[in-house]
């Protein structure tokens, strides 16, 4: 008798956690969509400024905005991938980390700081190695 009550409580807790998880994912998707819209708006503004002014700083802002949109889109894709297949969530998050690291390399190259280029390139190599290991482990389990 107590075992069935315990099982019912566990099922209710599990159902509640699924609802909370779904609500959190909806909030995250909504906020990411808003951020993509805002960054797109500012990208258009920066594009207009870059066309009129033509300075290297404006070009850097434009590239930064475009790469930020790419990061947000990758985050959105990773959430959708996690919703479809839970075992691929870690791979999707690793891909987002790789995109962020590549973004930092590109921005370091534009600003021409050698130390930042070396550090961000090292980060890309480390993340690529970690992503390779994760994909290898996940594909072995599937």
pLDDT at residue 2, rounded to an integer? 61
Structure tokens at 115: 């130390």
**Average pLDDT of the chain, as a whole number:** 81
Instruction: Please report the DSSP string for 92-137 in residue order.
Output: HHHHHHHHHHHHHHHHHHHHT-HHHHHHHHHHHHHHHHHHHHHHHH
CA proximity to 101, closest of 78, 127, 129: 127
Kindly report, residue by residue over 9-66, the tens digit of the pLDDT.
888 998 899 899 889 888 988 988 898 899 889 888 888 888 888 777 777 778 888 8
What is the count of structural domains for the chain? 1
Q: Domain range spanning residue 132? A: 2-141
pLDDT at residue 53, rounded to an integer? 80
């Amino acid at each position: 008798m107590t075992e069935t009550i315990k099982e019912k409580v566990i099922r209710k807790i599990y159902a509640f956690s699924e609802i909370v998880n779904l609500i959190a994912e909806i909030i995250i998707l909504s906020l990411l969509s808003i951020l993509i819209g805002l960054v797109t708006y500012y990208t258009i503004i920066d594009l207009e400024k870059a066309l009129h002014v033509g300075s290297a700083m404006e070009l850097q802002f434009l590239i930064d905005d475009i790469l930020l949109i790419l990061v947000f889109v990758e985050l959105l894709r990773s959430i959708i991938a996690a919703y479809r297949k839970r075992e691929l969530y870690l791979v999707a998050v690793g891909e987002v980390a790789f995109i962020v690291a590549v973004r930092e390399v590109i921005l370091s190259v534009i600003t021409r700081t050698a130390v930042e280029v070396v550090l961000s390139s090292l980060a890309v190599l480390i993340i690529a190695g970690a992503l390779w290991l994760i994909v290898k482990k996940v594909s072995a389990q599937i």
